[in-house]
Amino acid sequence: MHGPYDIPYTAMFLIESPNPLPIHKLSQSIMKVGCFMNNSYLDCLAVLGVGGAHPGGLKLTKELLAQEKMNESTKILDAGCGTGQTSAYIAKKYGCDVTALDQNKIMVEKANKRFLAEEISIKAIEGTMENLPFANDSFDFILSESVMLFTNITQSITELKRVLKPGGKLLAIEMVRKKKMNDAELVTLKSFYENTHFHSEEEWKQTLNQAKFKVIQVDKPEVQFDPENLDTAPEYSLSKSVDPVYFEMMKAHEEMLELYKNKLSFCVFKCTK
């Protein structure tokens, strides 16, 4: 346990490393990163029921989907569906045959609760992106919104390609590393987000190409929070019992994104099989 004046290992590493971050840039939330060891960031998202947590939120998703050709016959996989926000939107807007999948049991439960409340004929299922429970060539379109970076990326991309039909499209919104990061920064980020891979844009493209995907377009949308548009902000569906540590984790997440905004960004990868 850490006392009120203790500094966790990850924060000490930030301060004592050869290229330390200035102490004034470390908020109390970030200083507590080492205290979150028993609570994962993905569990935090699930317990708080965060929808639209990916960069750009539902607003960007709507803009991207508006550029695609989809109808009632289009079979779509929402890989890492979370609370089902995007799946529900696609089903209602385009009438597509949507399959929603997430590895987190709590997320799956919340997604199915949403689908029931909104009277949408989707059944979210529990499963991992590295071992998708679907036959080869099952989907016309796969959407992955800031999910692969929390998985074995190479294995996930291989699986996504396997279940995509020939000529089908993968649309992935993923975090990218804009600049080289030192050991202190990587230790802090990986300690918080767990097993996260901070690929550069070129590394993402190489991995997709190695899986024989055709990277047809890489976009770097500019996104801004609009207080008059709720689609730009995450939504929350809290569990009945929430450990206060998860609110602290969300605060640390927001502060780290701000702290590393010059080194981390995101890209939209549009690929075909």
**pTM for this predicted structure:** 0.84
Q: Is the pLDDT of residue 99 over 90?
A: yes
Q: Is the pLDDT of residue 193 over 70?
A: yes
217 in a domain, yes or no?
Answer: yes
Q: Which residues of 25-64 are buried (b: 16+ CB within 10 A; e: fewer)?
A: ebeebbbbbbbbeeebbbbbbbbbbbbbbbbbbbbbbeeb
| pLDDT band with cut points at 50, 70 and 90 for residue 230 | low
How many whole angstroms separate alpha carbon 52 and alpha carbon 233?
7
Among 29-33, 54-58, 138-142, 214-218, where is mean pLDDT lowest? 29-33
Query: Which H helix or E strand runs over 162?
Result: helix 153-163
Domain that holds residue 238: 40-181+198-245+265-272
Q: Is the pLDDT of residue 12 over 70?
A: no
The two tokens of residue 21 are 């971050």
Max Cα distance, the chain (Å): 59
The two tokens of residue 139 are 């989907």
| pLDDT band with cut points at 50, 70 and 90 for residue 232 | low
How many whole angstroms separate alpha carbon 171 and alpha carbon 105?
24
AA letter at 183: D
In Å, how far from its chain's centre is CA 6?
31
The pLDDT of 127-132, averaged and rounded, is 97
Q: Is the pLDDT of residue 18 over 80?
A: no
Judging by beta carbons within 10 Å of its beta carbon (0-12, 13-18, 19+), is residue 139 exposed, middle or buried? Answer: buried
Query: Which H helix or E strand runs over 77?
Result: strand 75-79
pLDDT of res. 239: 92
pLDDT of res. 41: 87
Count other Cβ atoms within 10 Å, centred on residue 194. Answer: 14
32 in a domain, yes or no?
Answer: no
pLDDT of res. 225: 59
Query: Mean pLDDT, the chain, as a whole number?
Result: 84
| pLDDT band with cut points at 50, 70 and 90 for residue 251 | confident
The closest of 192, 161, 175 to 271, measured between CA atoms, is: 161
The pLDDT of 236-243, averaged and rounded, is 88
191 in a domain, yes or no?
Answer: no
3 in a domain, yes or no?
Answer: no
25 in a domain, yes or no?
Answer: no
Query: Which CATH number covers residue 73?
Result: 3.40.50.150
3-state secondary structure of 34: helix
151 vs 197, higher pLDDT: 151
Q: What separation, in Å, do the N-terminal and C-terminal C-alpha atoms of the chain show?
A: 50
Q: Is the pLDDT of residue 188 over 90?
A: no
251 in a domain, yes or no?
Answer: no
pLDDT of res. 163: 98
Domain count along the chain? 1
- CA distance to 21, 32, 201, 253, 256, per residue, from 259 (Å): 10, 15, 20, 10, 5
How many percent of the chain have pLDDT more than 90?
58
The pLDDT of 31-35, averaged and rounded, is 49
The pLDDT of 4-9, averaged and rounded, is 34
The pLDDT of 209-228, averaged and rounded, is 82
How many whole angstroms separate alpha carbon 265 and alpha carbon 51?
19
In Å, how far from its chain's centre is CA 205?
18
Our CA dihedral for 114, 120, 125, 131, rounded to 10 degrees, sits at: -120
192 in a domain, yes or no?
Answer: no
pLDDT of res. 15: 35
pLDDT of res. 198: 87
HSE of 48 in the Cβ direction (CA atoms, 13 Å)? 23
pLDDT of res. 200: 94
Residues 97/161, Cβ–Cβ less than 8 Å? no
142 in a domain, yes or no?
Answer: yes
